[in-house]
Structure 1
């Protein structure tokens, strides 16, 4: 009787949950839970949390915009490390900078889409933009703030380095930026212009 109880108790251990079942559960979790929740249970759960399929599409925009609670640089480093370089799509929080994009671009060469809403030109660093774009050769689309295109060379650089690029969404758009896009990206397939860069729909 005692032996049977021990067997039943062993079967109920969460750390012994089948990895395929655990992976299905993880696919239902939010990014916040994948980073700071379930993986902290035990080493086996942490190992499953590094499964690349969980990190191909990362949305930090809708869960990590409390400046006092989360540092955008630390978040970028966390998701890149957890993904093992497999991220193909990432939405940065509103607190993110161009250096966060550079960090991800350097370590995740397969990025096809990113969302980075810089509200001010003060947050731009030409060197960081240049280095990031030159690494994003698989880039197909992006959602960015108007200030991202403060200089026409950025559009020219995208044309040169990102042959698959075809869709663009711009927040807080100005007529000057519209002119630059039409002039330097005549082959773009999709252009979405949004007046308010703070809108959260994607």
Structure 2
């Protein structure tokens, strides 16, 4: 389409394009194009780009931090330019969305800061799904403050953490419709107990491609009475016998576990030596180094509502 000249009354101007046409054009844009300044061209363009159609989901899974690993907390150092890029995208997106974002997706190597997270939470009051598989730079106060503002939250994808109880308590206290959880990392008895104590009504849980302690799995099966879907595909199941015996990696689920799982509507498993993902989980010892594998494979899940 040719650019219309201002002094040619016989031609329509870009600002006079029908809103439906603008919408179709903008639907082909990615987040970087939508936040590149097109809303500043004219009022009609800003009106179109602010349509809720574009902002039910804010997918930042293509945006990664430029970082290096360090030996002390938070164990990553993020380049200042990465932070500036993320802050800019967030500010423009959250301004254009007018609070209509219900799904927010971060890349597993996008290390959000406390300020960025709380800024986002304040401007996404209707959030229902959060995919935040890394929060090295987010402190307890930051994540708890954000969760307290997301009272409509129903689904969370998160990393494993050393002290999971506080986040589960915060969800229990503030998110009455919460029902779906995906853990990207090892599941031990502390995590299982936190789930059972704080989120007893959880309906969907995915632990795929992780290391799970047998005791933790039994706790989940015994105490999460409302669980309808449990995904342990490609997991390493670890049994820890009394000392001095060393831990045992189970080759298959025993009858006691299968019997407990029989009440669950969808119990998803895969412990196949020929399965590529099972092999990767074993090689990476239950904490997958996603950067080594195909781009975007970390988004997959056998549970449809938790896949990206």
Normalising by structure 1, report the TM-score: 0.81
Higher fraction of helix: 1
SS at match of 2:35: helix
Report the equivalent of 1:161.
Answer: 174
Q: How many residues are aligned here?
A: 192
Report the equivalent of 1:105.
Answer: 121
Q: What is the RMSD computed on CA atoms of the aligned residues?
A: 2.5
The 8 Å contact of residues 112 and 138 in structure 2, kept in 1 or not, is answered as: no
The 8 Å contact of residues 141 and 166 in structure 1, kept in 2 or not, is answered as: yes
| Residue 200, structure 1, aligned to residue 303, structure 2 | no
Aligned-residue offset at 1:43 = 4.7
| Residue 114, structure 1, aligned to residue 137, structure 2 | no
Report the equivalent of 2:28.
Answer: 28
Tell me how far apart the structure 1 counterparts of residues 298 and 199 of structure 2 sit (CA, whole Å). 25
Normalising by structure 2, report the TM-score: 0.55
| Residue 80, structure 1, aligned to residue 86, structure 2 | no
**Larger relative contact order (C-alpha < 8 A, sep ≥ 6)?**
1
- CA 1:193–1:99: 2 relative to 1, 3 Å: farther
The structure with more radius of gyration? 2
In structure 1, stretches of 5+ residues that fail to align are 1-5
Greater mean deviation of Cα atoms: 167-176 or 134-143: 167-176
The 8 Å contact of residues 113 and 140 in structure 1, kept in 2 or not, is answered as: yes
Aligned pairs (5 A) from 1:9-158:
10-11=11-12, 13-36=13-36, 38-39=38-39, 41-62=41-62, 64-67=63-66, 68=81, 71-93=85-107, 94-118=110-134, 120=136, 123-147=137-161, 150-158=163-171
Greater mean deviation of Cα atoms: 70-79 or 82-91: 70-79
CA deviation vs aligned residue, 1:59-89 (integer Å, no higher than 9, x gap): 0112x21534553233222211111111111
